[in-house]
Amino acid sequence: MLSGGTDRAAAVGRTIGALAVATALPGPSDYEATIHPVGKAWVRRVGGRNLWLWYRFTDEELTLVTVTIEPPIPLE
């Protein structure tokens, strides 16, 4: 769990902010992975942390799915 005001929460917030203003998704270091029960989503590592932010997107919408502490295995 992320508690507000912590360094971890701030790092996740920065990553979300970067996704929100990105001109193109997925980013160059993002990759697609799958996790139960979420299914398939794009993953971006939270800078400097062992946290991974899962997201989906369309041309109009960014959906944050979950944050995990285990690195996902990319889909091939």
- Give per-residue pLDDT as tens, 21-60: 999 999 999 999 998 888 999 999 999 999 999 999 999 9
The pLDDT, as a whole number, for residue 35 is 86
In a domain, 21, yes or no: yes
Domain count, the chain: 1
Write out the residue range of the structural domain in which residue 25 sits: 7-68
In a domain, 26, yes or no: yes
In a domain, 52, yes or no: yes
The pLDDT, as a whole number, for residue 11 is 95
In a domain, 51, yes or no: yes
In a domain, 25, yes or no: yes
In a domain, 53, yes or no: yes
> Which region, left, alpha or beta, applies to residue 39 given φ > 0 means left and ψ of -120 to 50 means alpha?
left
| Whether pLDDT at 75 is above 80 | yes
Helix, coil or strand: residue 39: strand
Side chain identity, residue 38? V
In a domain, 35, yes or no: yes
